[in-house]
Amino acid sequence: MEDLLLEIDNIDYKATANNVKNFLENKLPCILRLANSSPASLASPVISDMPVNRGGGNHSEEKMVKYVAARAIIDGVSRAIAHCSQTSSHILKARYVQGLQNWQVIDTMYCERATYYKLRDKACNEFADCLELQQGCPDLHVYKN
Residue 144, domain member (yes or no): no
Residue 138, domain member (yes or no): no
Q: What percent of the chain has pLDDT over 90?
A: 67
* Torsion of the alpha carbons at 96, 99, 100 and 101, rounded to the nearest 10: 80
Provide the number of structural domains found in the chain: 1
Residue 92, domain member (yes or no): yes
AA letter at 50 = M
**CA–CA distance from 66 to each of 10, 28, 63, 83 (Å)?**
32, 14, 5, 26
Residue 142, domain member (yes or no): no
Domain CATH code at residue 19: 1.10.10
Residue 44, domain member (yes or no): no
Residue 44 has pLDDT above 60, yes or no: no
Residue 141 DSSP class = -
Residue 22 has pLDDT above 70, yes or no: yes
**CA–CA distance from 18 to each of 21, 43, 46, 55, 140 (Å)?**
5, 38, 45, 39, 10
Domain, as residue range, for 17: 10-35+61-132
Residue 85, domain member (yes or no): yes
**CA–CA distance from 122 to each of 14, 42, 44, 60 (Å)?**
9, 40, 46, 41
- β partners of residue 11: 143
**pTM of the shown model:** 0.82
